[in-house]
Amino acid sequence: MRTTRVAESNSAVSIISKILVVAFVLFCAIYATEAAKIFADLSSALLRNMKWFILLSVTAICFFLIYIMCSRYGLIKLGKDTDKPEYSYFAWISMLFSCAMGVGLVFWGVAEPMNHYASNPFTKGFTDEA
């Protein structure tokens, strides 16, 4: 007979998290204009002061992951030594390609028409002619 273990949860952490989320949502719902101003100021301050750090962090993480992949640590098997992969390399790469295409289509399906609407080379942007 197969038994399942239920993960233990810390009720204090769960309750505090739920209270904070509800308080945040209520603040944003009740004080929508103030929340929008706070988020706009925070976003512009972070982008103005931390853009270099974000770019450097993403680049460093990518290089670190490439190093891990190419080093001896990239050969460490997750799971038991006798386990076989659930998917072949071809299926795995196909799934990653499909996910990337889906994300690109969802993003650019909205972003490209908006970009043409905002900066049309033939007419003024943000007009009906654009």
Angle between helices 11-30 and 32-70 (to 10 degrees): 130
Give, for 28, the enclosing helix (H) or strand (E): helix 11-30
The confidence score (pLDDT) of residue 38 equals 96
> How does DSSP classify residue 73?
G
Q: What residues in the chain have per-residue pLDDT under 70?
A: 1-7, 130
What predicted TM-score, i.e. pTM, was given to this entire model? Answer: 0.50
The position carrying tokens 């190419």 is 70
The confidence score (pLDDT) of residue 60 equals 98
